Structures are given as C-alpha cells and as structure tokens.
Amino acid sequence: MSRSYSKSVSKGVDWLTVVLYTALVCIGILCIFMVEYNPATFTPSSFFQGTTNYSKQILFTGICIVVATFIILSDSKLYPAFANLMYVFGIILMLSVFVIGKNINGSKSWIPLGGGFNLQPAELCKIFTALALAKFLSQLNMDFSKLQSQVIAGVITLLPALISILQNETGLALVYMSFFIVMYREGLPGIILIIGFSFGALVVATLVVEKNTLAVILTLIAGLLVFVFRRQIFVRKRWNVLVLITSVWFVCVGIQRFAVPYIFNNVFECYQSQRIYSAVGKDYDCSQNKHALKSEAAGKSPGKPDDYNVRQSKIAIGSGGFLGKGFLKGTQTRGKYVPEQHTDFIFTSLGEAFGFVGSFIFLAIYFLLLFRIVLIAERQRSAFSRVYAYSVASILFFHIVVNVCMTVGLFPVIGIPLPLVSYGGSSLLTFTILIFILIRLDADRQMVLR
Amino acid sequence: MPVYNQSRSRIIQVIFILVFLLIILQLLNLQIFSTEYKLQAENNAVYRKVIYPDRGVVYDRHGKAILENTIMWDLMVTPSEIKGTDTTALCAILGIDTAGFHKRILTAIIKNSRYKPSIFEPLITDEVYARLNESMYKFPGFNIVERPVRSYPFHGAACVLGYLGEVDSNFLKRHAGEGYEQGDYAGMTGLERGYEKVLMGQRGVKRFIRDNKNRIQGAYNNGTYDTAAIAGRNLYSSMDIDLQLLAEKLLQHKIGSVVAINPKTGGILVMATAPSYDPTMLTGAQRRKNFGKLILDTARPLLNRAIKGQYPPGSTYKPLSALIALDEGIITPSYGYPCAGAYYSCGRPVKCTEHWQGHSKNLRTAIAYSCNSYFSNVFRMIVDNPAYHNPRIGYLHWKQYMNAFGYGIDLKTDLPGEDDGNIPDTSGYNRDFGGPRWNSCNIVTLGIGQDRMLATPLQIANAMCIIANKGYYYTPHFVDSIENETITDTQFVGKYRIKHVPLEHISDSSFNTVQLGMHDVAVFGTARAVKIDGIDICAKTGTAQNPHGKDHSLFVAFAPMQNPKIAICVVVENAGFGATWAAPIASLIMEKYFKDTLSAASVANVERISNADLIPPPIKQWYFKQDSIKLLKQSQKINPDAAPVFQNNLETTKPVQYDPEAEPNHKDNGDTSLIKNKQDLQKPEEKKNPKPKKP
C-alpha cells in the first residue's frame, strides 16, 4: 500500500518543469554571488553564514524546497476548494499592511516577520488571484462572453492591483494586467487587447513625435479611413461609421494633446515621468511636474532624476560582448555601478559576465519554461487547471519581459523582480508556490476539478 | 476535453515568441553591434595610471651629472568627482580664490573632459604638498601624483640642456602613437628635445578596477595588461662642465657666446651663451611665470646664440681666405701686398689698422697683423681668378670652399634649431646690382669677413677645427655615447663618428703656413696678450662691424698647434676689438682646459672680466623701462589716489628715445625666419608699452 502511495506521489509530475525551475534558481544564486563577490572578504564559509545575500538566498531556496514538497504531497482538490477563501485571506493580508505594514524603499507593502525577514503580501496575492480567477472561470454554467462575467473577472484581478497602487507598489500592480492574457485565452473579446495595445502605441507616439506633427498624422489617418470607407458612408448612407471614425479621431487627439501631458505632469512623480521618457530616449523637463514643483516649494530639492540606472545597466550588458567578460570578471559588477543589481537588475551581471551567448541561453531556459507551461495548460481536462496554468505563464511572461526590457532599455524602469533569479524571499517563494501548484494540478490532469 | 478557443492559444504563443525575439534583437544590438558600451565600461571601471619613468641623466666628459631628476608633485582633479570637496580649505592651502578655483575646474573640463583627471596645480612646493597631504580626505576628486622633474646640479648650460614643457594638442597630433598624453612633459629645446626619444624612456601603465565611488578595487585582470616603466637612458656628453661654468661666468653682463670643440672628436667642450638663465627657473611651480619673463626679455636669454646667433666673422675669416687662395694657386706663402693703412683699389678705401710698411710683406705677417688690404686683394684675386674668366664663376668656387668649411650650411649638430649663417648666393647680388653686372670690387668686404657673410659661433669654431686638423672635421656634437647603445641609436650618434674630409685637397704645407701665421698672431700679432705656458696657441682676432652699434669682438683659436686639443670661438657683442674682450676670455678658458687650475693672475682676470658690464645701452634702457612700468603698475595697485601724480612725473622725466625693437645685438640679415621669430617675440612687449614708440 505504501509503495503504491509513494509511486502515486511522483506519478504525473512534470520533471522537465522541475529541472528548468531548479536551473533558474541555481543561476539566480550564482548571479547574486557574482554581484556580491569581493575577493578581499570572500571565504567559502560565507556561503552558509547567512550574512551575505547569496547565503540568504540559499536559505530561502531551502524553505522553498520544503514548501514545494508539501505542495507535491498535497491533494489537488484542495486548491479549487479553498481558492475563494484564500483570495479573501490574501486581500485581508494586503489590507492589513496599512495597519502593521513597514516602509521599505518608499513602498509601504511589507509585513515584518522578525529576524530581519519581511513578507510582501502583494507578491503572495498573485497566487490567490490566479486561483480565484481559475475558480471563477471554471464554473459549470460559466459564459465568459457575457459582459457581467467579464466585469466580475476584471474586478477579481484589479482589486489587488488597486491595493498595490495604494501601497505605492506600481510595478506589482502592473503585473495584475497579465491576467488579461488569461482572460483573452478564455474568450475575452480580442478588441479589448487591440484597444489596449493601440492606446499604448499612441502614448509612446505622443512621447516620441512632436505634438503638432502627431496631430496632423492622426488627422491624415482619419481622412484616409473616411476615403477608404467613402462608399459605405456616402453611398450607403451609413453615417454611424463616419461618427465612429470622427469620435475615435477626437479621442486620440484629446489623449495626445491633453490627457498624456496632464498625466505626466500632474499624476506621475517627476522620476516616473523621467523613467518613461528615458525609455524612449528622451529627457523629461521636471520643471513642468506638479509634484516636483510642490516639493521644491516646500524647500526640498529632490535633485534631477536621470537615467543613471538604465545607462549603467546598458553599459554592463553591452560591454559583455559576444562571449562575455567571464565569471566574476565583470568590471561594472565588481565596481557596483549598477544600482539594485542583486534584485531588479540581476540580469546585467549575467549579461556582462557571459555576454550574448549566456544571455541567449538564459532567455532560452525561460522561453522553454513558458512554452512547457502553455503545453501543460492545453493538456488539462479541467478548465480550472487550464486557467491556472495560463495565469502562471502570463505572470511569468510579464515579469520576465518587463524586467529584461527594463535592463536593456526597452521599457521604463519598474521595480519588478526577475522570477526565480532576483534576490528576495517573497518573490522566490511566490513563484515556487505558483509553479509547484501547477505541477501538482498537472499531475492530476486526468481528474476534472471544479 | 473540449478544445475551446484553441486558436487563441496559438496567438498567445506567437506573442511570446515575438516579444522574446524583440529582446534578443536588442541584446544583439547592445552586445554585438555597438562598441560604445565596452568603451564606457572601461572608462567607468578601469583606472589607468601612467607610471612615469625617470628621464635619462646627462653626464659631462668627466662623468659628472649635469642634468638629473628629482621628485615634485602635481595636484590632479577629476571634475566629475569633486562633489563635496571643501573648496574653501583647498583654496586657502593653494592661495587662490573661489573664482580662480571654478575657472581652473572649467579649464580642466574643457581640456580633458569631466571624467578624466587633469592637472589642477602643477608642481606644487614641498610645503603645500605637506599641507595638502594631511587634509586630502576633505578633497574627493583630487589626488596628488608624483612627477619626476629635472634638476640641474650646476645651474648651468641652460640653453644646451634645454627645458621640458607640457605638450600641447599640436605636439600630440605630430607625435600620435608615441605614447604622449595630455599633461605630459616633453623636451622642448636643447638636448632634451634632440634626444627626447632616448631620454624619455618608456612610460608604464598600470590598470586598476575602481568602483562607483572611485575606490580602487584591485588590479585589472590581475595586471595582465600592465606595462612596466622603463627608465630613460643616460647620455654621456663631451661637455666639460667646469669649463662651461667658467665660460658662463666670463660672459656675465655681456651678450655673446663661447664655443669650444675638441677637434680630434668634434665633441663640444663648451657652449655658452649670454645672457642666459638658471635652468632651475623652468622647473617647479614658478615655471610659467619665469618662462613668460624670459620670453619677453628683449635680450632674449632663451636664444642659444652659439647656434642661432649670426655674426659677421670679420677677420676670423682671413685664415680661410688664405687657405682658399693657396689651394687655388693664386698666391704663394711669400706673396705680399703693399699696404699703407687702407685698400684703395675699389673706390671707397677699406681701412686697415696697421700703417707701417712691411706688415703685409708675406702671408704669415699679413695674418699676424690681420691686414685688411692684403685680404681684400686676395679675395678679389680669388673671385677674379683668370682660370674661370668670369667673376661670378670665381665667386661660386669661393662659395664652394666656404661651404666646405661649414659656413652657410647646417652643420647638423645634436641641438635642434641650428642656423645656417649666410654665404650669399650670386642670385642675391644679381638682384641687387640689376643683373650679373657686379664685380669683385662690389663685394670686396667679403674678403675681410663682412658684407653679407654671416656665421654662427659654432660654425666659426668648426672651421678652426678644420684648420687645426689640416682638412678634416667631425660634426660638432655633445653626445658621445648613449647608455646601452643599440643599433637603432645610430640615427642619433652614428653621424658624429664619421670623419668629414671636405678639404683634403688643400696641401699640408698650405695648412702649415696658415697655422704658423695664426701662431704669430698669438706671439707678436694682434693677440699677443694671449699666452699659456708651454702651449703653442694659434689664434685670430676679429672685429666685426655691424649696423646696430659698436663692433662685435671676436676671437678664434686652437691649441696646441702640433696636436690640437681645443678649438675655440668667442663672440662678445658690441665690445670693440677682438683682442680686448674675446681674446682674454678664450685665453682663460684654454688655460683652465690645459692646466686644470688658473693662476692667481688669471683668477683676478676672471673677476675683472666677469664684472665688466658690456650690455649695450638700448637694452639697459629697456630693462629700466620694464622696471618702471612694473613700478607704475604696482603704484596704481597700491594707492590709486596718488597714482596720477606719480604717473605724470614718470612720463615727463623719461628721456625715452630708444625704440625697444632696435635690438643692437642682432644683425638684420634678411633671413625671413629670424624676422618672423623676432616679431613673435616682440609682440607682447609692444602691447605692453605702446607709448614710447610714438614720439
């Protein structure tokens, strides 16, 4: 009996995912070691003393192994059963931050656990949200083409995002946007994603192209559309097409001329505007920013924020060249030129030490993991597992893309970690749980879970 | 299992692939196609420290070091890192004000960019160094760099040794790829320049990794790319520093030059020029100020008159004339010319100092008494040589001889900037006389070393070597050998080991006759005062007329006659007869050379000569004016209210009639480069005192 039980534990576990997971965690520890290595103070024992970041990360990894084992040993039915309850627990945990929270690096989103360790509930809440969304979308009488269910799904994902914004964790809030990929897979009209994408393109165009030129271009596009649809509009007298084109044109110009400048000058902090501007290679004038003016009036000179981070990060990655400078030989890393290199900018140490080849292999591992998860998602019998798997893939994808794009200067600097690699217990634990719940669910893929 | 919305799964996968491709493309762009990041990373993290080797030492012929090294310090600044520096404290130590501080930082940024270290204060003194060193922690962005500087144990031979100067962008452009950097020092004149490549050694570079706070983290790549500094090699020169110092002392308060050569080797024993300066003035903190002072000095102490001063050789040319005439077969040693105090054959008489009959009865006595009539006649005979039918062709033959004697050509000694002197070409006379219509009478004063003939003291001394050696010479030079000489060093010293025999064809008997004549000069002739016990001296005085003032006093000699060991040329500007000042100077130097010590009488003589002030009045006037202008400026600074009164006094009482440009120590010879040079030097001075020129 016991033999068959132990067999059933490992049965169905997707070992490739486990291997990829292990590889990424190991690379992470290696990178943190590279960042912190100093030949003057280094001794082999510093791996286990718990004073350095890499030794702490090893400790976190140990905790994660324990948690992962528990998850593998647990029952799959547990997760759909407790999904809603856990979601509520997660929201309460996030709200509790406002009471017992601790301020780290300007964001009040941490719960002190003692012993120098802190927990970020917004991180953990990703798991709960994924489970809750899966639970909601896998209901028997679910019709996702109905607007009502789309709105409910939207609320489930956006509620933690809203709380995150209130905690001053804009980066984590943005991660919840990745759930729209899942919803798209489950039947959310594609037009919403297209509109979202177009909006993003318009904002970028606003920043890059000169104000009046862009207005002229938009007008020309509108005119062209009217010309293309002239038969429909004028011959068949379908005036609503004309009204649609005109109103879209009106909204676009409105966004471009008023909304974007207003948001940049009045909503965003000066440094945020600067980060977005520098991602498109421009310089933001802080004297227009309301927050900057306010703090200046209060007598505080915040100093001009610049793109130092991105510049140094690009230098580090760019100087790696084809094969890289070699393990522990990165000068940018040794000289600590890249700020936050052990957390958000961990990719730079890898890019510098191992060059294009190393970065390519590293990204390939991520890519393999993502595709493996999509494959896993598509082979599930139950909608719950499928939605959950897509959630995991989307969250991972969003994290990887935003983080790597940020380090190579394709995206504004947003403080979100590189999954499984960046230093940080909360982040590592969150992704471990996310992935191992998926592995647990996948092991029972023949079962229909509700 | 319902295949629900399967196509959307594909779309999501395509989005994944596209986004990853985008990232890979950006990585390609950053890591492979752009090179700037590698460079920037290196700029960031690699600290390149240049290790300056010691420059080579120059020794004199007795092995005494005449040019050595000592240590001084430069205060360097990296403008991007000076945030938080205690500016007031730094300014207080250096004795500058905050405006000056900002100006220097700005200059450093313009010169060397914000991120590279530039010199903030060069060559700081020991005291400032000590004070800076104890509070360096207050000045981030500043650091003190050791720099070996030159030291001159004997404080002499300034114009020969030359000085070091900070290289400018032009220099860097010309010497690209030779390892020079902004802020380096390189030899600008003299031996420092001529042997720069040997003396500079090889700079070493050490690379360190530094962190974002500019702290050194250790050697870059374990020092794989480091190069060791190789010290410059030493030079062993032929100079005799004791003689050099004696010559410089004798030339005090005079304008002129002394060149002494060992005829056997061509090694220059003495090359003194006056006025000169203490070479230590151009090292150390006061370098800039002193340099400005020296370059504005109207007496031009930076000019090496031994190679750049061009003088009419006057009577010192006569032995050459005799040799040419003898070799051409125009005269015999017994040829005589009846002179009664002047040469009348060419209209305007050429005066001769001797009147009595028989002083020019043959070549020997003509040389001994320096008969102008005799040599005017000999020169005309050379030019009008019947063998050539045409005075122009005769003249060109004469010119060939003169060039063979080293007149009118660059001798290619090892000091840069040597002048050619002037042996005029026929074209010049053709132009001035409206075609080839001139004859020997028009240019007769060439026969007594006047007219347009010009030579540098080095050339005159070298011609003496040829006479002493009876036909051959070695190119005059300072450096006999280089430490650890290699085959590539032949470009430097190889040419000084070649025996030049341009006048082999002149017979020994001709040389003997001329040498005997010159011996007579020192025995009973014009320089009979020149005597050294037991040494047969051959000499010739010269008194060169020049358009700017009193005659130049010239003297040439070599000794001993049978086995010449020294050939010397002394020029003292505007000092009258050759025998008055130039001859005793040469005599004292030769006495020191042969006897090693001076007799009591000679020591007194040294004092007498060195104290004699022969600076021409216009130059003294210039110094006086400079002083009064300085005084005027100071008075205006000190008390602005009282200044007008003082100024009026000064303006009315000043008897200024001298044009400061009328530099009597320089004959304007039509050499364009000299004139250009001169104007350059005069400019700042003109700006300073335009007033005296108006009346």
B31 and A320 within 8 Å at the Cβ level: the answer is yes
Shortest CA gap A26–chain B (Å): 22
Are B305 and B256 a contacting pair, CB within 8 Å? yes
Q: Kind and range of the H or E element at B690?
A: none
d(CA B542, CA B370): 9
Considering CB atoms only, which of A38, A314, A329 is closest to B37?
A314
Are B457 and B305 a contacting pair, CB within 8 Å? yes
B28 and A337 within 8 Å at the Cβ level: the answer is no
What are the tens digits of pLDDT across the range B6-33?
A: 788 888 999 999 999 999 999 999 998 8
- Averaged pLDDT for residues A220-246: 87
Provide the residue type at A39 as one letter: P
Nearest to B313 by CA among B423, B218, B209: B423
Residue A257 DSSP label = I
The CA–CA distances, whole Å, from A415 to A275, A281, A305 equal 11, 19, 16
- Averaged pLDDT for residues B616-623: 85
**Domain boundaries of chain B, sorted by first residue:** 53-64+154-211+223-235, 71-149, 306-611, 617-663+665-693
- The reported pTM is 0.62
pLDDT value of residue B13: 92
A329 touches B: beta carbon within 8 Å: yes
pLDDT value of residue A302: 56
Helix H, strand E, coil C: the string for chain A is: CHHHHHHHHHCCCCHHHHHHHHHHHHHHHHHHHHHHCCCCCCCHHHHCCCCCHHHHHHHHHHHHHHHHHHHHHCCCCHHHHHHHHHHHHHHHHHHHHHHHCEEECCEEEEEEEECCEEECHHHHHHHHHHHHHHHHHCCCCCCCCCHHHHHHHHHHHHHHHHHHHHCCCHHHHHHHHHHHHHHHHCCCCHHHHHHHHHHHHHHHHHHHCCHHHHHHHHHHHHHHHHHHCHHHHHHCCCHHHHHHHHHHHHHHHHHHHHHHHHHHHHHCCHHHHHHHHHHCCCCCCHHHCHHHHHHHHCCCCCCCCCCHHHHHHHHHHHCCCCCCCCCCCCHHHHCCCCCCCCCCCHHHHHHHHHHHHHHHHHHHHHHHHHHHHHHHHHCCCCHHHHHHHHHHHHHHHHHHHHHHHHHCCCCCCCCCCCCCCCCCHHHHHHHHHHHHHHHHHHHCCCCCCC
B238 versus B355: which is more confidently predicted?
Answer: B238
A335 and B23 within 8 Å at the Cβ level: the answer is no
Are A447 and A78 a contacting pair, CB within 8 Å? no
What are the tens digits of pLDDT across the range B127-138?
A: 888 888 888 888
d(CA B397, CA A209): 83
The share of chain A scoring above pLDDT 70, in percent, equals 95
Asked whether residue B675 carries a pLDDT value surpassing 70, the answer given is: no
What are the tens digits of pLDDT across the range B283-331?
A: 877 777 888 888 888 888 888 999 988 899 988 999 999 999 999 888 9
A315 and B44 within 8 Å at the Cβ level: the answer is yes
Q: Which of residues 182-211 of A touch B (CB under 8 A)?
A: 184-187
Contacts of A371 in chain B (CB under 8 A): 13, 16
Asked whether residue A7 carries a pLDDT value surpassing 70, the answer given is: no
A319 and B40 within 8 Å at the Cβ level: the answer is yes
Contacts of A185 in chain B (CB under 8 A): 5, 8-9, 12
Asked whether residue A4 carries a pLDDT value surpassing 60, the answer given is: no
Considering CB atoms only, which of A39, A185, A381 is closest to B12?
A185
The dihedrals phi and psi of A107, each to the nearest 5 degrees, come to -120, 125
DSSP string across B530-567: ---TT---EEEEEEEEETTEEEEEEEEEEE-SSS--EE
Q: What average pLDDT is seen over chain A? A: 87
Contacts of B24 in chain A (CB under 8 A): 360, 363
Q: What average pLDDT is seen over chain B? A: 83
Asked whether residue B656 carries a pLDDT value surpassing 60, the answer given is: no
Query: Exposed, middle or buried: residue B148 (CB in 10 Å: 0-12, 13-18, 19+)?
Result: middle
pLDDT value of residue B635: 61
d(CA A321, CA A302): 36
- List, edge to edge, every strand of the sheet that includes A117-119: A102-104, A107-114, A117-119
DSSP 3-state of B265 = coil
Asked whether residue A234 carries a pLDDT value surpassing 80, the answer given is: yes
A171 touches B: beta carbon within 8 Å: no
Asked whether residue B637 carries a pLDDT value surpassing 70, the answer given is: no
pLDDT value of residue B474: 93
pLDDT value of residue A305: 65
DSSP string across B446-505: GGGT-TT-BB-HHHHHHHHHHHHHTS-EE--BSEEEETT--GGGHHHHGGGGSEE-TTTT
Contacts of A137 in chain B (CB under 8 A): none
Query: Exposed, middle or buried: residue B222 (CB in 10 Å: 0-12, 13-18, 19+)?
Result: exposed
Shortest CA gap A293–chain B (Å): 25
Contacts of B27 in chain A (CB under 8 A): 317, 351, 356, 359-360, 408
d(CA B256, CA B276): 10
Asked whether residue B664 carries a pLDDT value surpassing 70, the answer given is: no
Provide the residue type at B654 as one letter: K
CATH superfamily of domain region B306-611? DD-peptidase/beta-lactamase superfamily (3.40.710.10)
The answer for residues whose C-beta is within 8 angstroms of residue B307's C-beta and 6 or more apart is B271, B413, B415, B417, B418, B419, B456, B457, B458
The answer for residues whose C-beta is within 8 angstroms of residue A185's C-beta and 6 or more apart is A387, A390, B5, B8, B9, B12
Contacts of A332 in chain B (CB under 8 A): 41, 44-45
pLDDT value of residue B689: 45
Asked whether residue A210 carries a pLDDT value surpassing 60, the answer given is: yes
Asked whether residue A60 carries a pLDDT value surpassing 80, the answer given is: yes
Instruction: Please identify which residue in the block is written with the tokens 């030579």.
Output: B455
Instruction: Give the bridge partners for B218, in sequence order.
Output: B209
Shortest CA gap A16–chain B (Å): 19
**Which range, A81-95, A98-112, B97-111, has the best average confidence (pLDDT)?**
A81-95
pLDDT value of residue A301: 58
Name the token pair of B289.
């100020």
What are the tens digits of pLDDT across the range A330-358?
A: 888 888 888 888 889 999 999 999 999 99
B41 and A331 within 8 Å at the Cβ level: the answer is yes
A321 touches B: beta carbon within 8 Å: yes
What are the tens digits of pLDDT across the range B171-194?
A: 888 888 777 877 788 888 889 988
Sign of CA dihedral B346, B351, B354, B355: positive
A401 touches B: beta carbon within 8 Å: yes
d(CA A435, CA B423): 99
| ipTM (interface pTM) | 0.91
The share of chain A scoring above pLDDT 90, in percent, equals 41
Parallel, antiparallel, or unpaired: how do β-strands B479-482 and B235-237 relate? antiparallel
The share of chain B scoring above pLDDT 90, in percent, equals 26
Under the banding of pLDDT at 50, 70 and 90, the label for residue A304 is low
A-B contacts (CB, under 8 Å): 121
- Does domain B71-149 bear CATH number 3.90.1310.10? yes
Are B97 and B138 a contacting pair, CB within 8 Å? no
Residue B92, number of CB atoms within 10 A of its CB: 12
Is B306-611 in the same CATH topology as B53-64+154-211+223-235?
no
Parallel, antiparallel, or unpaired: how do β-strands B342-343 and B350-351 relate? antiparallel
Contacts of B21 in chain A (CB under 8 A): none
pLDDT value of residue A8: 60
pLDDT value of residue B340: 82
The share of chain B scoring above pLDDT 70, in percent, equals 90
Asked whether residue B112 carries a pLDDT value surpassing 80, the answer given is: no
A335 and B45 within 8 Å at the Cβ level: the answer is yes
Name the token pair of B388.
């050539």
B5 versus B668: which is more confidently predicted?
Answer: B5
pLDDT value of residue B684: 43
Asked whether residue B466 carries a pLDDT value surpassing 90, the answer given is: yes
Name the token pair of A101.
């929270």
pLDDT value of residue B671: 38
Cα-based angle A412, A416, A422 (whole degrees, multiple of 5): 125
Name the token pair of A136.
């909601």
CATH superfamily of domain region B53-64+154-211+223-235? Penicillin-binding protein 2a (Domain 2) (3.90.1310.10)
Are B578 and B525 a contacting pair, CB within 8 Å? no
d(CA B598, CA B612): 19
